[in-house]
Structure 1
């Protein structure tokens, strides 16, 4: 898998299920992702097949029904998506992304404290 990969929105939804429920069946994934949508179960199975080919998921064929786990971590996926976003939308400026994220939302006191701690940790590395 390349250093920067871009799962589709549906792939991210499926990965989200697998990060919460490793070893989920295709039916469990289908119900979680498409619970309120009129999608065929076969669409979910096809998506899992594509994700298997991309290396995003692993399938355990030793059990019936087969189960799936994410091959990529949430952290690695988030890092890749943020890196791509910074490159595409913020001309490579991570600080611009952070400023935009902070100004467009309402960070909690806890969020701000975590940001301060991260800044302190990063400053200590210099």
Structure 2
């Protein structure tokens, strides 16, 4: 099966709604996004139809109101988008991305820096043990 294409910004906004709220009708999704995006019902419907064709969402058609569900996992989508961004913008350098993210665009808070430091220590320990599987703290 063909890998779904990366979602556009507006598709990602709809996917985020489906990840957060689960399977939803077009009306449900529209109600949740209309205030922040000023998008029409028909635009949401068309976007979900296109997303279905792209393999980003699945659709249940047994009732009059079609119910859409994310067909891609949130974490996998984030990882794919980050990998693509890292390669396109930073030529694959995670260090350059981190330096940019931590200081130049918006300084990280002390709490964020402490969390990052814990993650780095965990990654170093995993690297020393030969374990390449990322773990969450």
User: What is the TM-score normalised by the length of structure 1?
Assistant: 0.86
Partner of 1:42: 42
Work out whether 1:72 is the aligned partner of 2:110. no
Residues 87 and 93 of structure 2 are in contact (CA less than 8 Å); yes or no, is this contact kept in structure 1?
yes
More off after superposition, 62-71 vs 91-100 = 62-71
Structure of higher RCO (CA pairs closer than 8 Å, 6+ residues apart): 1
What does 1:1-126 correspond to in 2, within 5 Å? 1-2=2-3, 5-35=5-35, 39-103=39-103, 104-126=105-127
* Whole-angstrom distance in 1 between the partners of 2:60 and 2:115: 38
- Please give the per-residue CA displacement for 1:13-57, whole angstroms capped at 9, x wherever unaligned: 101111111111101112222335554322211111110111111
* Whole-angstrom distance in 2 between the partners of 1:109 and 1:96: 20
User: How many residues are paired up?
Assistant: 125
Unaligned runs of 5+ in 1: none
More off after superposition, 95-104 vs 115-124 = 115-124
User: What is the TM-score normalised by the length of structure 2?
Assistant: 0.80
